[in-house]
Amino acid sequence: MRNRRSLMFPIIVFAFCWIYGCSETGVSYYGSKAKVSVPFGRSYNYEDILVSRVVDGDTLVLENGQRVRLIGIDTPEMHTSEKLYRQAQRSKTDIQKIMKLGRRAYQFTRNLVGGRRVQIEFDVEKYDKYGRLLGYVYLKDGTFVNAKIVQEGYASLLTIPPNVKYVDLFRALYQEARENNRGLWK
Q: Which of the residues are catalytic?
A: 69, 77, 132
Beta-carbon-side half-sphere exposure of residue 111 (alpha carbons within 13 Å) = 10
Planar angle of CA 120, 66, 63, nearest 5 degrees = 80
Q: Which of 108, 126, 98, 155 is nearest to 30 (CA)?
A: 126
Q: Which of 7, 44, 38, 42 is nearest to 20 (CA)?
A: 38
Q: Which of 146, 142, 117 is nearest to 134 (CA)?
A: 146
Alpha-helix runs per DSSP H in 30-142:
82-91, 95-113
Residue 16 vs residues 21, 30, 42, 129: alpha-carbon distances, Å: 8, 14, 18, 18
The sign of the CA dihedral 168, 172, 175, 181 is negative
Question: What span, in angstroms and rounded, lies between the C-alpha atoms of 178 and 14?
Answer: 51
